[in-house]
Amino acid sequence: MLRVILATSRLDIRDSILKAIATDKQIEIVATAFNGAEAVEKTKELRPDLVLLGVSLQTLDSLEATKEIMIEAPTPIVLVFSVPDPRAVELSVRALEAGALAVTPAPPQKSGSADGTAVRKFLSTLRAMSQVKVVRRWRDRPNLKTGSKRLPTGNKSSPRIVGIAASTGGPAAVQSILAKLPGDFPAPILIVQHIASGFIEGVASWLDAAIALKVKVAEDGELLAPHVVYLAPDGHHLGVASRSRIVVADDPPINGFRPSGTYLFASMARVFGSEAVGIILTGMGNDGADGLRAVYEVDGTVLAQDETSSVVFGMPKAAIDAGIAHRVLPLDEIARTMISLVMNGC
């Protein structure tokens, strides 16, 4: 039985969630709360498998409640929203940085076939996130030695482009990496981050304010530029059309994902060949692995986050198990390796 605490000050969200969960006999609401302070206290008392936090809470907002839960009683947290307004987006992005695992729309109250699909997706998210092992935010994760293959050698030039794909735990991981890069990092960086629709602009704004590089949501046909990080927009694939142009496409999803890490990496391999660096970070599932194989096969460079520093090891593990990761690195070492490859040519 999956034991859940539900905290929201919105009665409409509360009712839609209760109605959805009532359809699954394996999920139980063990307590409800109407503000963040209650959510923290009930989490400490009841030790549930999962906490559902409404983005807009009273007393303690979702950010402060997330921080307190992750310090006092570390528990998987999923943020739930109704409409992704600017305040909700800002709080959600910062709560993800503080330890929340995912942000998802509240299930609809209607009963049509499309709404039934949305309810099943919502319940699937709860089950998946409840399995994630979380740690106290103040506890430093150990940096264990990791294995590596010999990086591609020969007469290839320094990498000219970097692609990153991430899902669960990705926003904080991406921020950690980008914050360590200098403002003159010469290669453009393209990022596919799986996140709920309506939130990627907020992620871009948050990153842009936090790091030395410029961060923006990519636009179809724009020029690739050094010192810039491009995020895939909602519901669109991100890739490169040429060595100087970005492509944003509404092609069909790849293995259920749009944007897809595989789409990004495959386009980089096709256009940049051995001058491409593909990086796969924390996330559930295996998106990106097929595209990274294309990078590997053209003598590009593939880096994977290690299990210890990943919130969810699914996406990196898929690449590692396929034998296409040149290096498996703790999160703290990825930026240094990027600088070594791109700026130092080694």
Catalytic positions, please? Answer: 167, 194, 287
Task: Count how many residues are written for the chain.
Answer: 346
Task: Specify whether the CB–CB gap between 177 and 193 falls below 8 A.
Answer: no
Identify residue 181 by its one-letter amino acid code.
L
The strand pair at 276-280 and 27-33 is best described as unpaired
DSSP 39-105: HHHHHHHH--SEEEEESS-BSS-HHHHHHHHHHHS---EEEEESS--HHHHHHHHHHHHHT--EEEE
- Residues 6 or more apart whose CB falls under 8 angstroms from that of 301 comprise 151, 152, 159, 276, 277, 278, 295, 326, 341
In 180-265 the beta strands, taken as DSSP E runs, fall at 189-193, 214-217, 228-231, 237-240, 246-249
**Nearest by Cα to 195 from 258, 138, 254:** 258
Buried/exposed 128-165: b ≥16 CB within 10 Å, e otherwise: bbbebebeeeeeeeeeeebeeeeeeeeeeeebbbbbbb
Query: C-alpha distances in angstroms, 105 versus 76, 114, 115, 213, 257?
Result: 17, 14, 12, 31, 17
